[in-house]
Amino acid sequence: MTTTTAPPVLTVEDLTVVYEVEEPVTAVRGADLTLHRGEILGLAGESGCGKTTLAYAVNRLHRPPARIASGRITFHDRSGEDVDILALEDRELRAFRWDKLSMVFQGAMNALNPVGTVRAQLRDTLLAHRPRMSRKEVRERSEDVLRRVGVDPRRLGSYPHELSGGMRQRVMIAMAMLLEPQIMIMDEPTTALDVVVQRDILREIVRLRDELDFAVVFITHDLPLLLEISDRIAVMLEGEIVELDTAEGLYRDAKHPYTKKLLGSFPSLSGERGAFIRTGVDETETAAAGASTEERA
């Protein structure tokens, strides 16, 4: 686990995102966040609270009618340079994405090209940013990232429909790692996976973070899951970040009524509702949170 003494890699200040429909909707309102190097920052809240909208804003992925109405998003590069993400021109933005900041989208089957092999999709990502790489270097890098996420390199010739859901999600994580970004945003990366596969992928994410020292923004509605893997957790409600604390601090002494309701909504295996006990990352500790996730699925 990292601490807030680590230098920041991303700063979000007073960010507001509006959907300019017939009656404008403010999806994110005045968000402030600091992501530290090597940190796993959980972003929790119910569906529609603005989690994905915030992530898309950080990555400049919004299209009309969405509009960033105000705020500032700054990337702090290892080189010491500060990058104003909102000021990047199209060409600069294309170079920035995947190289400095990557994203694992919700629904891996939809995110992967159904008519392209894993090899082709990894190759295209590499050559778009590293056009001088040789065929041998592309092949070796592709094989390496698949091994890192626990996928047999022989799967490079497979199409997405030939892979299981968990394997497709691992391929998406491998693709996000290809260029060794400093930040990885993960939007519901374990949704629709069974509990055993979900836990395996979570262990891989934590292991890879420890090994490669990238920072993670992990988005989910599953608060027990975030309590297991996050250094800090931000809770969103109706477009606002209403609470931000360490995972331990949030569990032990939640301040906002909505956070308390979230914590009280997950039953333990043997206790009353509201008796959820944080259990951590190991086998024994993941049981209660995994069971609660399964019960709600």
Does the residue 284 lie in any domain? no
Count CB atoms within 10 A of the CB of residue 120.
Answer: 15
* Number of independent structural domains in the chain: 2
- Model pTM? 0.86
What CATH number is associated with residue 31? 3.40.50.300
Instruction: Check whether residue 15 and residue 60 sit in a common domain.
Output: yes
Does the residue 295 lie in any domain? no
Does the residue 279 lie in any domain? no
The Cα-based distances of 286 to 150, 209, 255, 276 in angstroms read 21, 19, 25, 12
Does the residue 2 lie in any domain? no
The Cα-based distances of 279 to 230, 250, 252 in angstroms read 13, 14, 13
Does the residue 274 lie in any domain? no
The per-residue pLDDT string of the chain (297 residues; one tens digit each, 9 = 90 and over) reads 555 679 999 999 999 999 999 999 999 999 999 999 999 999 999 989 999 999 999 999 999 999 999 999 999 999 999 999 999 999 999 999 999 999 998 876 678 899 999 999 999 999 999 999 999 999 999 999 999 999 999 999 999 999 998 899 899 999 999 999 999 999 988 877 788 888 888 888 999 999 989 999 999 988 888 999 999 999 999 999 999 999 999 999 999 999 999 888 876 656 555 544 443 344 333 333 344 333 333
Instruction: Check whether residue 201 and residue 96 sit in a common domain.
Output: yes
List 148's β-bridge partners, or say none: none
Instruction: Check whether residue 27 and residue 80 sit in a common domain.
Output: yes
Domain boundary among 235, 252, 269: 252
List 84's β-bridge partners, or say none: 74
Instruction: Check whether residue 186 and residue 96 sit in a common domain.
Output: yes
Does the residue 57 lie in any domain? yes
Instruction: Check whether residue 91 and residue 135 sit in a common domain.
Output: no
Contact status, residue 111 vs residue 105, Cβ threshold 8 Å? yes
Domain boundary among 155, 180, 205: 180
Instruction: Check whether residue 164 and residue 193 sit in a common domain.
Output: no
Does the residue 246 lie in any domain? yes
Instruction: Check whether residue 173 and residue 191 sit in a common domain.
Output: no
Instruction: Check whether residue 215 and residue 173 sit in a common domain.
Output: no
Instruction: Check whether residue 27 and residue 92 sit in a common domain.
Output: yes
Domain range for residue 40? 8-100+181-252
